[in-house]
A = this chain, B = another copy of it.
């Protein structure tokens, strides 16, 4: 029984897209396992794994003891035995107890073994803020993983991508850190065509989501929606923004980015993570290296401030919003 039922098109949320994608991956390959805290009966605190244990059993949808190193470490062993574990980290801020296993074991196993031991693991992390949560529930740890060779890092931004990207990540023979914008889980719906043999965009590809000529705005995860809204608002004032959903953070897919910036001459990167050494730093550095003579202004960065994530009553001011993106666009244009 598939979540797709019999209709070919559904209106789904990101949460449902991910759920359906996981379900389909589990149907397609019985080596795929789901593991983590509360992923079983509860279906995860965000219900992304809802119903999977019921349908695939406790051997394939595993409630783990409360220990993230243990979860990722046992997933390493399962991967070595030929399984394809999909690990759920309950919240971004709780990935750090597993950090050693991720950066020293998961990331290095293939290299250490000179290709003999594959590590086809997906580590799903609901990330980012905007849900009014308490400390440690709104972190954006992506730069740390992107800095780690051996890992691949992607971020989905919408329900349809959620459905396809999770399947592609599971099919990938390398470990993938899979970032899910938690504030989008239940926010918007999109049309998903599940039954056709669609050929989705490749996993490690960026996508131009709005064409424009004046400034290139780069975003991923929760910021894509904001970048699009900013483009809409800017259009009203006669500015034409091109918006790119980066989708893959490691490797970066610079092709569409460089092509766009060569045309616009200006770029703004936005993310929730701290600006200092965030993805924006790398992207700015690469754009400048590659498009030095095309740039009319330095690449400008919008991001979380370089403070710990604040108490939630302050998060609105902390998080990049439409206004801050537009402010950077203006500064870029005024440069």
* Interface positions of A (Cβ within 8 A of B): 69, 93, 96-97, 99-100, 103-104, 107-108, 111-112, 135-136, 143-144, 146-150, 250, 273-274, 276-282, 284-285, 288-289, 292, 297-301, 305-308, 335
Contacts and interface: CB of A to CB of B under 8 A. Distances in A.
Q: Determine how many copies of this chain the complex contains.
A: 2
B135 A143 contact: no
B149 A274 contact: yes
Contact of A307 (B96, B111, B276): B111
Contacts of A274: 147-149
Given A285-B301, A298-B288, A104 B96 contact: yes
Contact of A147 (B112, B148, B276, B284): B276
Contacts of A335: 292
Nearest to A301: B285
A100 B135 CA distance: 14
B104 A307 contact: no
Given A143-B277, A144-B147, A277-B281, 12 more contacts: A69-B97, A96-B99, A97-B100, A107-B308, A108-B135, A111-B307, A146-B277, A147-B273, A147-B277, A150-B307, A281-B284, A285-B301
A81 to B, nearest CB: 23
26 contacts: A69-B97, A93-B104, A96-B99, A97-B100, A99-B99, A99-B100, A111-B307, A111-B308, A143-B147, A143-B277, A144-B144, A144-B147, A146-B277, A147-B274, A147-B278, A149-B276, A149-B306, A250-B276, A277-B279, A277-B281, A281-B285, A285-B301, A289-B298, A289-B301, A292-B297, A292-B298
Nearest to A96: B100
A297 B289 CA distance: 8
Contacts of A150: 307-308
